């Protein structure tokens, strides 16, 4: 199947500058293509994955992907959909972020030489103001620039010249990659359409109207309830395991709504059409089994964090559901109960009633604590405790770092030992 047809089946195409021309050229040759990201932060979140999943598909099909990290554009900021200017970062912070993003990209795309990472600072920093105005400024019409949606939406509140010229810099990027590396396709979000077409127009002015350059944008990803994809109550879902643990990452995908799961399987996994269609039937006929969600969580977590992270996430999930947490490692406890109610305790051995009521405030009173213990409603580190004279030893489990309490069937508490 032609890769463009595959992308259409997956619902991954929003707009194309020349649909027939692009479909023909990807049949003729293994073109170069690129997607960009500015180092405005030190980690991508799952929303950033969207264009790079398309790039990865081209890589797997043998094409030549380029990832552009905007060391130059990231230092000035693009005009976001917000009504205020971006805060400029120091060059030191931009450099740090660039190194972090490079490491993440290498994790996703490998180190086998089948893709390239470029930095637009390498060519934009060499442009003098006169060269910028003479060689490129003449090719951009101000009226056209004002009509770009990302700019026009800001005219009422105001936009700086710096952010206004961002579209020129992005156009220069495409033109430079076209000339230096024969990159003929730029991929971006739907909000990048104006910038992408601006780059193609620049290429045509510099190299002739028959120069083969193409643009493709991806749809805005919304959940079935109309909210923005990738956001949770706790904020963004990051690719950095220090910001979002692999277990939390896995849980994000496994909790996908039935109405969204097939869309995400098509977009965020490399499963075959046949397997996805089979999972779609299972969602329709056996939704309670949530097989599609499990397959989605496994596939995306493995892609981002590796097979070991999947096994770890599944182990934590199983242990928390069954209550058998003694099998978990200290690291897994920290991941799995990261967002549970927590408190600090000393490593002093104490009677369970006193500890539950006075030290941790898990129980509202000693009377309630005694009642819950006698009724078998309290588990300490996975063991049911029914003896009101039981003594808790904070050093007994999990390397003396944690005491895990389960009260009732589902409520977990994490006591961190000082």
Q: Which of 29, 30, 82, 411 is catalytic?
A: 82
Q: Which of 40, 184, 197, 335 is catalytic?
A: 40
Confirm whether 89 is a catalytic residue.
Answer: no
Establish whether 327 is an annotated binding residue. Answer: no
Strand ranges for 120-259 from DSSP E: 183-189, 214-218, 231-232, 235-236
Rounded distance, CA 279 to CA 299, Å?
Answer: 13
Confirm whether 263 is a catalytic residue.
Answer: no
Beta bridge partners of 118: 68
* CA angle, residues 227, 47, 303, in degrees to nearest 5: 125
Rounded distance, CA 214 to CA 16, Å?
Answer: 7
Q: Which of 6, 18, 191, 278 is catalytic?
A: 191
Strands laid side by side in the 214-218 sheet: 15-16, 214-218, 183-189, 32-37, 64-69, 116-119
* CA dihedral of residues 2, 18, 65, 125 (deg, nearest 10): 180
Q: Among 42, 97, 35, 44, which residue's Cα sits nearest to residue 65? A: 35
Confirm whether 228 is a catalytic residue.
Answer: yes
Q: Which of 204, 231, 294, 338 is catalytic?
A: 231
Q: Which of 157, 232, 346, 386 is catalytic?
A: 232
3-state secondary structure (DSSP) of residue 411: strand
Confirm whether 256 is a catalytic residue.
Answer: no
Q: Which of 10, 56, 86, 305 is catalytic?
A: 86
Establish whether 27 is an annotated binding residue. Answer: no
Confirm whether 232 is a catalytic residue.
Answer: yes
Confirm whether 170 is a catalytic residue.
Answer: yes
Confirm whether 368 is a catalytic residue.
Answer: no
Confirm whether 45 is a catalytic residue.
Answer: yes
Establish whether 34 is an annotated binding residue. Answer: yes
Confirm whether 293 is a catalytic residue.
Answer: no
Residue 350 burial (10 A CB sphere; 0-12, 13-18, 19+):
middle
Confirm whether 40 is a catalytic residue.
Answer: yes
3-state secondary structure (DSSP) of residue 380: strand
Rounded distance, CA 403 to CA 215, Å?
Answer: 55
3-state secondary structure (DSSP) of residue 239: coil
Q: Which of 10, 17, 48, 73 is catalytic?
A: 48
Q: Which of 83, 228, 326, 411 is catalytic?
A: 228
* CA angle, residues 385, 388, 389, in degrees to nearest 5: 105
Q: Among 45, 38, 39, 41, which residue's Cα sits nearest to residue 239? A: 45
Establish whether 89 is an annotated binding residue. Answer: no
Which residues does the annotation mark as catalytic? Answer: 40, 45, 48, 82, 86, 170, 191, 228, 231-232
User: From the annotation, which residues make up the binding site for ATP?
Assistant: 231
User: From the annotation, which residues make up the binding site for L-tyrosine?
Assistant: 34, 166, 170
User: From the annotation, which residues make up the binding site?
Assistant: 34, 166, 170, 231
């Amino acid at each position: 199947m032609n890769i463009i047809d595959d992308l259409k089946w997956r619902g991954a195409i929003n707009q194309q500058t020349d649909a027939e021309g692009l479909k023909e050229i990807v049949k003729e040759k293994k073109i170069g293509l690129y997607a960009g990201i500015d180092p405005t932060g030190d980690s991508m979140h799952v929303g950033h994955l969207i264009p790079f999943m398309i790039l990865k598909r081209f890589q797997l099909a043998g094409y030549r992907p380029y990832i552009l990290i905007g060391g130059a554009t990231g230092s000035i900021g693009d005009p976001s959909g917000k009504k205020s200017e971006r805060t400029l970062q120091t060059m030191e912070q931009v450099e740090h972020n660039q190194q972090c993003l490079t490491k993440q990209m290498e994790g996703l795309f490998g180190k086998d030489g089948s893709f390239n990472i470029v930095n637009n600072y390498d060519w934009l920093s060499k442009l003098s103001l006169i060269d910028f105005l003479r060689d490129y400024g003449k090719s951009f019409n101000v009226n056209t620039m004002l009509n770009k949606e990302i700019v026009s939406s800001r005219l009422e509140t105001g936009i700086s010249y710096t952010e206004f010229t961002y579209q020129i810099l992005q156009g220069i990027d495409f033109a430079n990659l076209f000339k230096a590396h024969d990159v003929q396709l730029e991929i971006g979000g739907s909000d990048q359409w104006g910038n992408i077409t601006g780059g193609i127009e620049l290429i045509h002015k510099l190299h002739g109207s028959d120069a083969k350059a193409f643009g493709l944008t991806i749809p805005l990803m919304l959940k079935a309830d109309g909210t923005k994809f990738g956001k949770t109550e706790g904020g963004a879902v990051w690719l950095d395991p220090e910001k979002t643990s692999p277990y939390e990452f896995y849980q994000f995908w496994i909790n996908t709504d039935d109405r969204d799961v097939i869309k995400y399987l098509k977009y965020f996994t490399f499963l075959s059409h046949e397997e996805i269609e089979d999972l779609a039937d299972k969602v329709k006929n056996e939704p309670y089994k949530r097989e599609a969600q499990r397959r989605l969580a496994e596939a995306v977590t493995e892609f981002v964090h590796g097979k070991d992270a999947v096994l770890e996430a599944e182990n934590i999930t199983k242990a928390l559901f069954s209550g058998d947490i003694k099998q978990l490692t200290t690291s897994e406890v920290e991941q799995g109960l990261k967002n549970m109610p927590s408190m600090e305790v000393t490593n002093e051995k104490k009677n369970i009633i006193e500890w539950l009521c006075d030290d941790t405030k898990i129980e509202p009173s000693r009377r309630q604590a005694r009642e819950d213990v006698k009724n078998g409603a309290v588990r300490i580190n996975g063991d049911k405790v029914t003896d009101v004279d039981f003594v808790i030893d904070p050093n007994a489990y999990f390397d003396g770092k944690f005491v895990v309490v389960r009260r009732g069937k589902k409520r977990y508490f994490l006591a961190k030992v000082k």
